[in-house]
A and B are shown apart, each in its own frame.
Chain A
Amino acid sequence: MAQHSRRFSIYVLEQSAPFIGFLASMAVLTLIVMGLGEDPAKAFAGIYKFALSDPAKLAAGLSISIPYYLSGLSIVIAFRAGVFNIGNEGQYFIGGMVGAIAGVYFHLPPVIHIPVVIIFSMLGGALWALIPAVLKAVRGIHEVITTIMFNNIALALVNFLVNGPLSGLQKGTSLEPQMKKILPSAHFGKLNGFFRAIGWNVPDYVYLDYSLIVAIVMGLFVWFLLFRTRQGFEIRAVGTSTDVSRYAGIPVSKVQIGAFMLSGAIAGLIGLQEIFAIRGFYTYNLASGLGFDGIAISLIGKNSPVGIVFSSALFAFLKQAGYGLQLYSKVPNSVTYAIQGIMILFIVTINEILVRAARNLRKKEVG
């Protein structure tokens, strides 16, 4: 019994880095707020008021966390296979565009059209991951470099296509460059009515749309794949040690290419909400940086499909917190971006320390 509780406390020790890191970064935020001559109580009251004070605010947070979750999930699958997919930003832009092409040019009934745009978004993202994946597996070029290059290529490419061949604007309009409007049959409806029916008063301006279902389904899928299938076991084995996996007869290159492309496919879904629910058209001015945020979200969530539920909620909270600070105190919004970076550094560092400590404790236990 005593041993049992001891094991449990080691487990808790291992898992507690995100919480300690969060608290530490909030302490830093407090210091910054005080340094700016603002009352921390006022600042945190502003954060609370904007981010947490009523069910509508929480629903807005959930809405913001949907693309964060998908972005994090895309990185989870890559990290688990030992792949650093820094390219999910580019995969997100390309995937969204390919999905939007299906949404604009295909004439289908809604029950088919919506799954089709989802699948096309995934295909676009996966395709954009293909070349870096192959270059890594076949030629050994580190994917960090190639994916960064592919991000820049993707941005230039969508910029060209949206301004040129795919442009949906009449000449001489002053609207931002964009594709044609997504057809109504591919438009993502909202689930707000459902939430209201079960007693959560989600106001109309909040987007809890079909992309929420996509995120949940993909999360369950990735969890099942990773922990309940042979392919998932291979992915995790490769991520733990390519050498050992090779000795065990696992086709390392194939597994990494597969995981890389799945990561790209999920990255292709990041833009669903903005393109198919909020804007109703594709533009290259989609929220930038969502792809990079996925890396942090995955790390903070310990590369787990369950863990990133919390870390994507945390990122949504931080975003809301930034607006709250801006609105209710004289602390600028930009401070929350700096805090994000500080928080990641705290969490990964503290995690490293705690995991080591836990390992040492285990060694002692064994004898």
Chain B
Amino acid sequence: MDISFIGFFLVKGLEISSPIAFSAMGGVFSERGGVVNIALEGIMTVTALTLVWGAITFQSIWVGLLIAVITGMLMGLIHAVVTVTFKVDHVVSGVAINVLAVGLSRFLCQSFFGAETQSKINPYLFPKLLGINSLAFWLIPAAALGWFILYRTVFGLRLRSVGENPEAADTLGVNVTLMRYVGVLISGALCGIASATLFADKWITGMVAGRGFIALAAVIFGRWDPVGAVLASLLFGYADTVRIVFASKIPIPDQFIQMFPYVLAVVVLAGIVGKSRAPAWDGRNYEKGEG
């Protein structure tokens, strides 16, 4: 194994980790505010499509990215309205949005491109850096920024307080509803970015392939911390990279290598419990006077 191969492996792994990592960061912002968001998968499915559509239509991947981020926030808005305003169970709403996303993305693909399961080829791609999508390198500053926002800004403090103890936060004049909305919208926006690090050249149905769910495991494994979630995502991402890079070189059936990231996720989760604690009010709705 020479240096250039190791370099290729490291960089490729970053690219493969990115969709998981950005959406996991989204999950952190949503859950620190107290809203469980298992719709990450579905939101990415839709934003991956609008990204390609936006890039082709406006002949710029950056416009595509903007449209993906906006779409992600709109999908997040649905989740926020249903869970925060109408106080429906968060997992139920997430499941429904995932169902909606499958149909919506296929329907939009049909309307935009005339085919239900795949889009046209998008020639407008992000610039490459070291042979990979340069957007993947944003991950590092993004994790730092996420950490800074959550722990060093007033907004971050308020968001966390709403996820820990909404009653106390409410008493101190924090707008619980607003904070929770913002947390979910940030997660939607990050899903938009996450999908842009997937494959921007074409949308295919099922292309997100469980990354949004792996991201949920990364949120827990990363202890609901932006940096932790990104590190956990790197673990899953590099496990997947091993699969892709070495699949043809090791005498293990391909299907077992496919299982690897998921088995790893279960083992990791089984191993860390007790050390990882969810925000106290994660997944619970808050009503004035009920606390």
Contact = CB atoms under 8 A, between A and B. Distances in A.
B7 interface: no
Contacts of B82: 345, 348-349
Interface in A292-344: 292, 295-296, 299, 332-342, 344
Contact of B96 (A332, A336, A341): A341
Interface in B206-226: 210, 213, 216-217, 220
Contact of B106 (A146, A149, A337, A348): A337
Contacts of B255: 156-157, 159-160, 163
A145 B217 contact: yes
A294 B261 CA distance: 26
Contact of B258 (A145, A156, A352): A156
Contacts of A333: 116
Contact of B88 (A142, A159, A292, A348): A348
Contacts of B266: 131, 135, 146, 149-150, 153
A1 B106 CA distance: 53
B39 to A, nearest CB: 10
A86 B96 CA distance: 12
A149 B38 CA distance: 13
Given A145-B269, A344-B96, A84 B91 contact: yes
B233 to A, nearest CB: 14
B269 A299 contact: no
Contacts of B3: none
A141 interface: yes
B86 A352 contact: yes
Interface string B170-199: 000000000000000000000000000000
Contacts, number: 132
A339 B96 CA distance: 11
A285 interface: no
Contacts of B210: 148, 152
B116 A144 contact: no
B131 interface: no
Interface string B102-119: 111011011100001000
A353 interface: yes
B273 interface: yes
Given A149-B265, A345-B100, A334 B256 contact: no
B262 interface: yes
B1 interface: no
Given A332-B116, A341-B101, A296 B95 contact: yes
A141 B256 contact: no
B198 to A, nearest CB: 17
B44 to A, nearest CB: 15
A140 interface: yes
The 4 A-B pairs of least Cβ separation, nearest first, read A341-B100, A337-B103, A338-B103, A160-B255
Interface of A: 36, 84, 86, 131, 135, 139-142, 144-146, 148-150, 152-153, 156-157, 159-160, 163-164, 289, 292, 295-296, 299, 332-342, 344-345, 348-349, 352-353
20 contacts: A135-B266, A139-B274, A140-B274, A144-B38, A145-B265, A148-B216, A149-B213, A149-B263, A157-B255, A157-B259, A296-B96, A332-B116, A337-B107, A338-B106, A338-B107, A341-B101, A342-B100, A344-B100, A345-B82, A348-B89
